[in-house]
Amino acid sequence: MIILPLLGFACVCLKHTPQAVIEVQKTGPAWSFVTPKGQPFWSYAIDCVDTGTSRKDYKASNKSYAAFRYFLNDQEWALDATQKLKTWGFNSTGGWSNDDLFQKFAGKARMPYFVVLHLGAYDMAPWHDLFAPPMERLTDAAAKKQITPIANDPYLAGYFTDNELGWWDDTLFISYLGMKQAAPGRKALINTIKKFYGSDFGRLAKDWVVDGHSFETIKSLKMRPGGTGRKAVNAFVQVVGERYYSLMHSTIRRYDKHHLILGDRFCQYYTLPIVRAASKYVDVMSTNFGADWNDGSITPFFLRTLHSMTGKPVLISEYYMSATENRSGNKNSGSAFPLVKTQAERAAAFSKYTRSLAALPYVVGAHWFQFSDEPAHGRGDGEDWNMGFVDTDGVPYEEMVSASKSLGIASLRIHARDNQPYDTVLVPNIQNASLSSLKVWPRDAGVIQCTQGQAFADMFVAKSKENLYFGLYAMDYMDESIYMGGRIAEVDRAHWRIRISGLPQPIDIRFGGKNHPLTVNNPAIEAKEVGGLKHTVMLKIPKSLLSKPSTFAVSSTLDSHGRGEHMVWHATLQGLK
């Protein structure tokens, strides 16, 4: 008998049949996982609920979580872990957990679980040729081995096909172009660009510097500035995505026709062609997604676009927050993840983020990474972050436990709504105004509505006594080596244009690319860019440049580099005085 927690963490009993599987559906405004009895639940889980380092591999010089140090046997650990999770408010286990031990020892206390198959990773997808026979053989063998033993398990929620694949579009195009001419993947690229240019080699040559005299003899391509080459890249990336997701779908369905296919856990970034490709082949869009700012706040577009483009619900397959103050000796090396000073701040940010996810109607769950802190001096890849609910001695962080118990997820799900921005914005005040970070901006009150195109950015507005502020948070990866000379030209850099009815000329901003300073066409406007996969651009406009009225119309456009994607905002701004 399987026991599944509901929104309020009550229980329901299900029969043991292959068809007794968890599904997803929309009821009213909100999506949720649903039991075969039709009862919804929001998957609140922890990743890597496991016994940690084995006795054989344990090194006292690099302290790590190891269950053998605290428990007599696996059964004692499994029962203790299950009790802890339920007491803390969790109702599922996420990827890379010891599902076999819970199956063996947890009995009726067992919880639904999610499996990471790593199918494409068996042949380094998407960098090895996705179209070549070895990919099909390795994927099939991996699926058969991993899926067959669990395909009829009613506790299984579904399968992640992989984790954090490298969907880096420009670089992916370059990689497939560099394959041997007979490689199926390279042939797919040539066929795609031939179709894109209508078999007109002259059109191709206008967008690219070509080594070759026909589509069949192309040796190399370098993008010319100002053309439509970036859209040709998008077209090929979508073809690669279609190949990946269709292959994963057919392979999984060969061995399991019932359980959910949950996507490949985007690495806090996605490219729109890949999302378009995935939409036909997955039941749920999954993404690893730490908070955009270390107070636990996020920007709206990232999750909203995943849902609006696909019509599918979204699962947060990893999220995290770390603190410099921790008992495991974690140094939190690098800058890959959000970091605060104290465990109290960490718990507050965790609570804020989790509650914001539970309040979104199209989000069906959130999986915290991870159960225990990483080793003090780093795991195999060197990562050494304070990500655990317990430290490396297995002692819970009480601040995190207390925050988890008090989330009130059931109530949040009942009232879940997607609060779209209004087309009229009462411009909020910003205190201690600066261009250092969007974190301190009143973003919820100042977000402007996207009115055209799939959003790959958010635009914000704020004011002080003397100035009007605009902020942009935009996702745009580029590989400058795709251009001649390995450098993106000014005309192909991301272009943000703002037209304000109280300003005589539009504001034009160019940003993005290595060692390219942001440019703005009005010297009276102060501007700053913070680069990365998600670019931050902030503008300070003196109100003295604007005409007298307190109400203005604003329209804005954003083109990603090379004009690959385009979006538009329109709004009326009030209360500028």
Separation of alpha carbons 261 and 168, rounded Å: 23
Q: Which ranges of 383-522 does DSSP label H, i.e. alpha helix?
A: 398-405, 409-414, 443-446
**145-188 pLDDT tens trace:** 999 999 999 899 999 999 999 999 999 999 999 999 999 999 99
Residue 313 phi, psi (nearest 5): -70, 165
Q: Per-residue confidence at 15, pLDDT binned at 50, 70, 90?
A: very low
Please say if the pLDDT value at position 9 is more than 70: no
Distances 104 to 22, 78, 108, 358 between C-alpha atoms, Å: 21, 9, 11, 31
Is the per-residue pLDDT at 123 higher than 50?
Answer: yes
pLDDT of amino acid 19: 57
Residue 511 has pLDDT above 70, yes or no: yes
The pLDDT tens digits of the residues spanning 37-61 come to: 777 899 999 999 999 999 999 999 9
Question: Does residue 17 have a pLDDT over 90?
Answer: no
CA neighbor of 528 nearest in space, from 453, 436, 454: 436
Residue 529 has pLDDT above 50, yes or no: yes
473 vs 75, 195, 439, 447, CA distance in Å?
48, 34, 11, 11
- Give the whole-angstrom CA distance, residue 123 versus residue 197: 31
Share of the chain above pLDDT 90, in %: 88
**pLDDT at 4 > cutoff 60:** no
Helical (H) or strand (E) element with 367: strand 363-368
Tell me what the mean pLDDT of segment 475-494 comes to. Answer: 95
Enumerate the β-bridge partners of residue 44. Answer: 366
Short-list 330, 428, 349, 437, CA closest to 387: 330
Residue 11 has pLDDT above 70, yes or no: no
Judge whether residue 12 has pLDDT over 80. no
**pTM (2 d.p.):** 0.94
Average pLDDT, the chain: 94
Q: What is the mean pLDDT of residues 319-323?
A: 98
Q: Which segments of 435-551 are extended strands (E)? A: 450-452, 457-463, 467-475, 494-500, 507-511, 519-520, 526-530, 534-542
Mean pLDDT of 418-431: 88
Least confident of 1-15, 375-389, 514-528: 1-15
The pLDDT score that the predictor gives to residue 354 is 98
Q: What is the pLDDT of residues 538-564, one digit of tens each?
A: 999 999 999 878 899 999 999 999 999
Give tens-digit pLDDT for 247-299. Answer: 999 999 999 999 999 999 999 999 999 999 999 999 999 999 999 999 999 99
The tens digit of pLDDT for each residue in 334-343 reads 999 999 999 9
Domain 2-111+284-414 has CATH 3.30.70: no
CA-closest candidate to residue 389, choices 373, 378, 376: 373
Q: Residue 219: which pLDDT band, with cuts at 50, 70 and 90?
A: very high
Residue 6 pLDDT exceeds 70: no
Q: Which of 1, 21, 19, 25 is nearest to 11 (CA)?
A: 1
Segments making up each domain of the chain, as ranges? 2-111+284-414, 169-235, 424-574
Contact of 18 with 155, CB cutoff 8 Å: no
pLDDT at 502 over 90: no
Q: What CA–CA distance (Å, rounded) separates 158 from 550?
A: 53
Check whether 1 has a pLDDT greater than 80: no
Residues 6+ apart with CB under 8 A from 356: 296, 297, 298
If one compares 1 and 47, the residue with the highest pLDDT of the two is 47
- Over range 191-205, report the average pLDDT: 98
Residue 531's pLDDT is 87
Q: Please state whether 128 falls in left (phi above 0), alpha (psi between -120 and 50) or beta.
A: beta
370-408: pLDDT as tens digits: 999 999 999 999 999 999 999 999 999 999 999 999 999
pLDDT of 2 above 70 = no
Residue 13 has pLDDT above 60, yes or no: no
Q: How far is CA 36 from the centre of its chain?
A: 29
Q: Which CATH class is domain 424-574?
A: mainly beta
pLDDT at 440: 92
